[in-house]
Each structure stands twice: as C-alpha cells, then as structure tokens.
C-alpha cells in the first residue's frame, strides 16, 4: 500500500507539472475566452485591447454615440430589431448594443462601463458564469446582456430578494428606457394584473421564488389569457450558486385543498 501511495503521489506531481506547463504555454480556458473577446495583458500586467476584436469595435463606436441626441439614442432598440429582421444575428449586434449601453450609462447614471465589465457582460451573454466580487459592478455588467437579449425577447433578471429587485429596476431603469426599452418588477405582494403588466415589459426584475411560483401558477391556468408570464427567452441570475444549488434543494410546491367528494374513488 505504501508503494502504491508513493506511485500515486508521483503521478499527481507529473500530471500537475504537465498541466502547469500547458497552461503556461496556452493560458487557462478562462484566459483564452477573455482573449477571444479582445482583452489580454502583457508581461508587465498592462491591459491590451486586441485590434479588430469585439472589444476594440465597441470602443471605436464610443465617439460616434457621444454625438447622438437623447432621442436618437432612444431609437437604438428599434434600430437593432430592424437589423435582426433583416437577417443579422444577435452576436452581430454585440458591438453596437454594448457601446449603446455604455453611452446610456454615461448619460443617465453618470457611470461608464470599463473594458473588463464589457468582458463580463459578453461572458453572461454567452450563457456562462462570471464570478465577480462585491464592488466590481455586477448590476452594471448585467445591463449589457440584458439590453442585448431584450432586443429579441423578454429578459428576466433574477435576484435574491424583493428589495434588490426593486432597487435594481429603479437604478437601471433610466439606462434601459433611454435606449427604448420598457422595464418592470414583480414583488411578493404584486397582484395578478400588475404582474401581467410587469411581465409584458422588455426586462422584468424579480426573485427566483416569484419567477418560479408564477411559472407553476401559469401551468395551472385553463386559458392562456389568465397567465402572467410570456414566452421564456433569457435570464440573468444573481448569486447563481445560491439560487441554483443551495436553494434548489428545496422544491417549489403549490398545494391546495382537496375535494371533499370521495364518491368517485371506489368507481376508479
């Protein structure tokens, strides 16, 4: 057993060394994804934007968008939807959409998206997880893929409590409305009619429990006009480890009172 343990340790050392060698030569998978967007660093740790990359194209659009009036900027969503109707894909719209969100952030929030935040937004758009610590601007980063995907369908921004849902909706509202979108929020005490209005917006903020229970309630409705949620398209989840792992261990259950008439059971 001692011999086998030593052999195992030796193999782990060799494999670990090989992994470090490969990573040193080609970079980690995360580094390659970030570099594909156009962001990298030199040996001195200085940020470099690769010419012709997605990030470079976003930055080149900034001076042009600064010249637009508020009315022209508000037409951004409509312009992008026309391009989709003409056959372009959502990925084709990334530079224009992200650059427009940056400009709207500068005008209405007095906040400019940094290049690294653009990278985070693109990662989220691709359906991947972006790990960010408190203070790095998660809410601002989420505005990028939220706007882009709202051009093609509804977007649900999922937070952990009602306070954050309402706060983020009010905070990011001027940005999204300045680009021609509608926004809403659902709360635990929101009525049926108000929920239909909120879900009818381009972007809807709410908690995981509310989105989940509304989905269950919709599937219990007899007619479509009674439902509150529309077609599911795209969602951004804050605190994804907590929502999809920790809280997911507790199922969402809707229960009701059983019928008192049991006369049909013997027949069945």
pLDDT score for 82 = 97
pLDDT score for 88 = 96
pLDDT score for 1 = 57
pLDDT score for 136 = 87
Residue 60 sits at φ, ψ, to 5 deg, of -70, -25
pLDDT score for 3 = 58
Q: Name the nearest CA neighbour of 143 among 238, 232, 47.
A: 238
pLDDT score for 183 = 97
| CA atoms of 178 and 108, how far apart (whole Å) | 8
Task: Name the 3-class secondary structure at 61.
Answer: helix
pLDDT score for 177 = 98
Q: What tokens appear for 250 in the block?
A: 């507790």
pLDDT score for 253 = 86
What the chain holds in terms of domains, given with CATH numbers, is 33-249 (3.40.50.300)
**How far is CA 124 from each of CA 128, 141, 158, 170, 238, rounded to the nearest angstrom?**
5, 9, 13, 22, 11
pLDDT score for 263 = 65
pLDDT score for 260 = 64
Per DSSP, which regions of the chain are E strands? 39-41, 47-49, 155-159, 183-185, 203-207, 234-237
pLDDT score for 51 = 87
Per-residue pLDDT tens digits of the chain, which is 268 residues long: 565 556 655 555 554 544 444 444 445 667 777 777 877 877 777 778 888 899 999 999 999 999 999 999 999 999 999 999 999 999 999 999 999 999 999 999 999 999 999 999 999 999 999 988 888 899 999 999 999 999 999 999 999 999 999 999 999 999 999 999 999 999 999 999 999 999 999 999 999 999 999 999 999 888 988 999 989 999 999 999 999 998 888 888 887 666 666 666 666 5
């Amino acid at each position: 057993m001692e011999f086998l343990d030593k052999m195992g340790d030796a193999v782990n050392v060799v494999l670990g060394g090989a992994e470090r060698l490969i990573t040193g030569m080609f970079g980690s998978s995360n580094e390659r994804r970030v570099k594909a967007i156009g962001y990298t660093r030199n040996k001195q740790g200085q940020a470099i934007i690769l010419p012709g990359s997605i990030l470079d194209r976003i930055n080149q659009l900034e001076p042009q968008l600064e010249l637009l009036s508020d009315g022209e900027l508000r037409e951004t969503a409509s312009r992008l939807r026309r391009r989709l109707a003409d056959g372009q894909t959502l990925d084709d719209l990334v530079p224009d959409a992200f650059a427009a969100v940056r400009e709207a952030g500068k005008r209405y929030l007095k906040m400019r998206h940094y290049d690294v935040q653009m990278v985070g937004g693109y990662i989220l758009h691709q359906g991947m997880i972006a790990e960010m610590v408190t203070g790095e601007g998660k809410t601002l980063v989420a505005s990028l893929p939220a706007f882009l995907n709202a051009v093609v369908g509804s977007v649900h921004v999922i937070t952990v409590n009602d306070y954050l849902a309402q706060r983020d909706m009010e905070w990011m509202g001027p940005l999204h409305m300045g680009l021609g979108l509608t926004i809403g929020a659902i709360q635990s005490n929101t009525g049926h009619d108000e929920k239909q209005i909120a879900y009818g917006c381009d972007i809807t903020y709410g908690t995981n429990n509310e989105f989940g229970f509304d989905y269950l309630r919709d599937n219990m409705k007899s007619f479509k006009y009674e439902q509150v949620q529309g077609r599911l398209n795209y969602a951004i989840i804050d605190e994804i480890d907590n929502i999809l792992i920790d809280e997911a261990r507790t199922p969402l259950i809707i229960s009701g009172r059983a019928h008192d008439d049991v006369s049909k059971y013997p027949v069945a």
